A and B are shown apart, each in its own frame.
Chain A
């Protein structure tokens, strides 16, 4: 409940900050503002898939259903954020790069990851409770595949902006932009936690109802 209030307050504030308060970028102009949605989404999506990976390993080892529910819920929410990444990226790319899409390493990795987790969610939807173990294995393989996908795509070419926040030398963004970006990241992560809690609770209730005998 606290999380829900936090998310509901922080998301619109973050968007307003990004649109009204953050300074204009010198080279890209106004389109750069989509960064405040794009980067928090990608951070949240990768966080969500990491949770799915850890929960899947825990499920295979312990066989506790709650880990399976956590893995499934986190993958669903992560896929929503990754979809947001794949939608906002081209909207920015068209005015700045002059193209909706390029086969850059980061873009290729995100797209293939999207297909992997689309397959994961299809497997879950079609195979029900029996598919839990298979789904856990797919989540583990899919997560471990990410560095290899990135590696193979780097061998092709790279055009995406370098990381500006998480890098060894410290953030390269000016403070006025960085604070707003970090605020939005926090807001997105809280939103993820809200969705995650709701989905896990729903699944727990559904299996309770099933055990109680109602459809």
Chain B
């Protein structure tokens, strides 16, 4: 690929992941909105549910929402950047899954933490984007390699995404009770 076509294929993964990160950070701010506005978090805690379960359930729900956004963004990128689905489809699916998982695991924790804070709409992206930078960089790098004709291994990126997700889900499970009590 040379010229405009090459440039398009190179920038497509970056555009895709920036879209997901920005859409994720604006969407995740609202994910605990309902709970704080109507004091439902209070009710949830009274219901003798393990705080860890609240976190996991919220993360799962947020994952579905961000994944839906990602599918739409993927379609748009395919059309506007003239990108075809690469031959290594299963690997690409794993990259998308882990990349989204990392972003959502971090974003849900921050969203819960900031639910009661002033200026949360401004603070969440300010915190989420640098904190999830390693995951977004790895996911975008792996996506770029899977889309390029030259190809190349993505095992390193997959390991990083897995480590990121496992580390921050564990941290979230440990600290979540501190985060939602008031």
Question: What residues make up the interface of A, taking CB atoms closer than 8 Å to B?
Answer: 60, 112, 115-116, 118-120, 122-123, 126-127, 130-131, 133-134, 136-138, 140-142, 144-145, 148-149, 151-153, 155-156
A155 touching B106 by the CB < 8 A rule?
no
A-B contact pairs, 8 of them (CB 8 A): A133-B178, A137-B109, A138-B127, A140-B175, A142-B131, A155-B137, A155-B138, A155-B160
Min CB gap B54→A, angstroms: 15
Number of interface residues of B (CB under 8 A): 32
A116 to B125, CA, bound (A): 11
Task: Flag if B113 contacts A126 (CB, 8 Å).
Answer: no
Residues of chain B having any CB pair with chain A under 8 Å: 106, 109-110, 113-114, 116-119, 123, 126-127, 129-131, 133-135, 137-138, 141, 156-157, 160, 163-164, 167-168, 171, 175, 178-179
Asked if A134 contacts B114 (CB within 8 A), the reply is: yes
The A interface, classified by DSSP as helix, strand, loop or mixed, is helix
Main secondary structure of the interface of B (DSSP, over half): helix
Are B137 and A134 in contact, with the CB atoms below 8 A?
Answer: no
The answer to whether B119 and A155 have CB atoms under 8 Å apart is no
CB–CB B141/A156 < 8 A: yes
Known: A112-B133, A116-B130, A137-B109. A131 touches B141 (CB 8 A): no
What's the nearest-Cβ distance from chain A to residue B177, in Å? 10
CB neighbours (8 Å) of B167 from chain A are: 144, 148
Q: What distance in Å separates the Cβ of A121 from its nearest Cβ neighbour in chain B? A: 10
Contact assessment for A141 and B131 in the assembled complex, using a CB-CB cutoff below 8 Å = yes
Q: Are A137 and B178 touching (Cβ within 8 A)?
A: yes
Task: Beyond the given A152-B137, A155-B137, A155-B157, please list 18 additional residue pairs across the A-B interface where CB-CB is below 8 A.
Answer: A60-B178, A116-B127, A116-B131, A118-B126, A122-B126, A126-B123, A131-B117, A133-B178, A136-B178, A137-B113, A137-B178, A141-B131, A141-B168, A141-B171, A149-B134, A152-B134, A155-B160, A156-B141
